[in-house]
Structure 1
Amino acid sequence: MEVVNQNIALREDRNLLVVAHLSQYLDYITGFGGLIVPLVLWLSTKDSVIGMNEHGKAIINLQLSLILYVIIGIPAILLLGAGILLLVFAGILSFVMPIVNAVKAANGEAPSHFGTIRIIS
């Protein structure tokens, strides 16, 4: 009979939270790494790092929201150019929000959800 210890010691690792937020910039290099790397970090450390569950959900929600904005924005360009505004908004959001949330993670604050559709709650 095996006894499994269910008491996992939580640790505070703000640097890992900051790296998780800044890893979203891999989208500019690989095109998809900004979703995969934070997803792996979140799933592997959400139970052992304080705040990772909350910040990980914010990262994944932001990335999924950006994907939806682009999917909706490209065909919407044909509708009087309204999609251009949505794509510009998505571009600004994808550049600014990782920095804002990385600073908040470094200070121990909750992440910002501006412009994010909360798909994972």
Structure 2
Amino acid sequence: MESNYHTLKRNYNQLIVITHLTQLLTYITGFGGLVVPLIIWATQKDRVEEMDAHGKSILNFQLSILIYSIISIPLILVFGLGIITLILIAILAFVMPIVNAIKASNGELPSYPLSLNFVS
């Protein structure tokens, strides 16, 4: 019985890790980094322990990245700083899902910087 619990816990943990890593689909499809984690979170938040907290963090981060990117576009025309901002956003959006997937694999809660709180 104890073995089943640990196996289930490990499977849940792997799903949470995969949910963090699905954010990287944005670099392949252009939009999958928001849609796929949203679907996983919506379907698994009541079944998988800690999925709700991780899913909300992922959605808040992805929505924040989207807003920061939209704000950066006019800054390209006005100040030219939008290009630098978009590059920094792209780096942050690539690195933080990997960092938080590693944290999730260690049983830690995610931490996404500059994340606005849309879903609570």
TM-score (norm 1): 0.86
C-alpha distance in 2, partners of 1:76/1:113?
Answer: 24
Give the greater-gyration-radius structure (CA).
1
- 1:112: which partner in 2? 111
**Number of positions where the alignment pairs a residue of Structure 1 with one of Structure 2:** 111
Q: Residue 59 of structure 1 corresponds to which residue in structure 2?
A: 58
Report the identity percentage: 53
CA RMSD of aligned residues (A): 1.1
TM-superposition CA deviations, 1:71-117 (whole Å, max 9, x none): 00011112222212321221111111100110011000010121211
SS of residue paired to 1:22: helix
Q: As a proportion of its length, which structure holds more helix?
A: 2
Q: Which runs of 4+ in 1 moved over 3 A?
A: none
Could you tell me whether the CA contact under 8 Å between 1:61 and 1:120 is conserved in 2? yes
Amino acid of the residue matched to residue 14 of structure 1? N
How is 1:75-94 mapped onto 2 (pairs within 5 angstroms)? 75-94=74-93
| TM norm structure 2 | 0.87
- Residue 47 of structure 2: SS of its match in structure 1? coil
Unaligned runs of 5+ in 1: 1-10
**Does residue 49 of structure 2 align to residue 34 of structure 1?**
no
- Give unpaired runs (5+ residues) of structure 2: 1-7
